[in-house]
Structure 1
């Protein structure tokens, strides 16, 4: 009988000892006094730096373009981005400040951009020489046409074998040219037929049939 009582007491102690603690976050207060300092580079490069600050904040999510992945920074830290679309236009930057427990505050900042496309001298010389250069496809070599990771120097997603694609691609001529006033031109000369990806045709024209196009 004494042994039975001892077991019951032991079970009671174990049950009390295994009780889950209720976490306490304290008051869930949304970040306040949200401010965003924006620095737009004056060299027309499109470089923009955003520095958000707030009270009762854990981190910020900065969205430089609609639908893009956020740049996550801490209080008073800088988030940088380069806009590459040329011209004069307005851009909205959305900033969300997250506090304890996931509560948030947000704001949107509109900036004026004047972006001029600038190509570095090495790339410009390779593409257009001293002012203009024409290119044709090196169809006899593997990898003459492909898609790859921008961080790599090889088309590791897709790489065409020699003469793999439709002959209508290989008679094209691509001409790159520029002048001293930062004006760049690209001209594509075809022999009447243009090489296209049929999957992309179906994406934009779901009802299209091969009879309307010459498939790749």
Structure 2
């Protein structure tokens, strides 16, 4: 009986599998995006002004077949920085003064991770004249030296780069880093108005520079590795320019819409950042509040400075 039971069980199992039909699933043909194109519209472009009206505003419109998503790199001459394009359209403000040519890279993504890439060149003009009151407050129309103001709370802070204009993640207390990084407070930053269109920044670091290390800073001579802190650095001098802010902060928020753009790798303001554009949030004769993109992705750093006596 036991053998008959086993035989019947085997036959039932065999019959079950014999009646099963195998279903086949096919992904279909994975077609990469085709007919990819990028439309480039320079604000204020006319026959008389073929490179735009000087605002530096450019709108890109991406089109093509089989596009599920797309990204754009606005300038192939600097580090690759692919930005998500929502709805096939995005606007960029180019802030390098004068007439400049940029190579733009667009990547369109299709089914199954397929992609298609195109590049395009554009030449755009950026003209900018800062508010004279900002120049006067910063330089006294000659030279003026500033230091990080350790006497006020929030003289250094960290918050999100987008969606906020406050150091909501962390804010320094009064004299926060006197014991651990006093060079943060003894470094001086002297801004000079050389002519109506020429400006410089001289940085002096008698007790070293407050910075990160290796690839997380541009300052020469900083060690290849190590924790954030004070490192030997004498300082440096470089040209600066005033540019329209490229941070995306809109009018009506606490921002002058004007940034200080440093040149070269030898200078910084307050903290040895990788980024060289410091947005002026507030400035007057006795106070300057700056915002710069932090070394870590997605961070904004805030700095409060005061003039030296």
Q: TM-score, normalised by structure 2?
A: 0.50
CA contact (8 A) 1:63 1:93 kept: yes
Q: TM-score, normalised by structure 1?
A: 0.66
Shift of residue 97, structure 1, vs aligned partner: 2.7
CA contact (8 A) 1:49 1:79 kept: yes
SS of alignment partner, residue 209 of structure 2: coil
Q: Greater strand percent: which structure? A: 2
| Equivalence map 1:122-201=2 (5 Å) | 125=133, 128-129=136-137, 132=140, 135-150=146-161, 151-154=164-167, 156=169, 159=172, 161-162=174-175, 164=178, 165-166=181-182, 169-170=185-186, 172=188, 174-175=190-191, 183=197, 185=199, 187-188=201-202, 193=206, 195-197=208-210, 199-200=212-213
Match of 2:63 among 53, 69, 74: 53
| Equivalence map 1:6-25=2 (5 Å) | 6-13=12-19, 16=20, 19=22, 21-25=24-28
Segments of 5+ residues of structure 2 without an aligned counterpart are 44-51, 235-270, 272-309
CA contact (8 A) 1:128 1:178 kept: no
CA contact (8 A) 2:100 2:125 kept: yes
Deviations 1:20-75 (A, max 9, x none): 632231x333333322210122332222111122234333322213410232345x
Segments of 5+ residues of structure 1 without an aligned counterpart are none
Deviations 1:122-147 (A, max 9, x none): xx757745984855543222322344
Shift of residue 169, structure 1, vs aligned partner: 3.3
- 2:108 paired with 1:104: no
Deviations 1:173-215 (A, max 9, x none): 6558799x7x47465575x73751253479643479x99658x
Larger Rg belongs to? 1
Q: When the two structures are aligned, how many residues end up with a matched partner?
A: 202
Residue in 2 that maps onto 1:30: 32
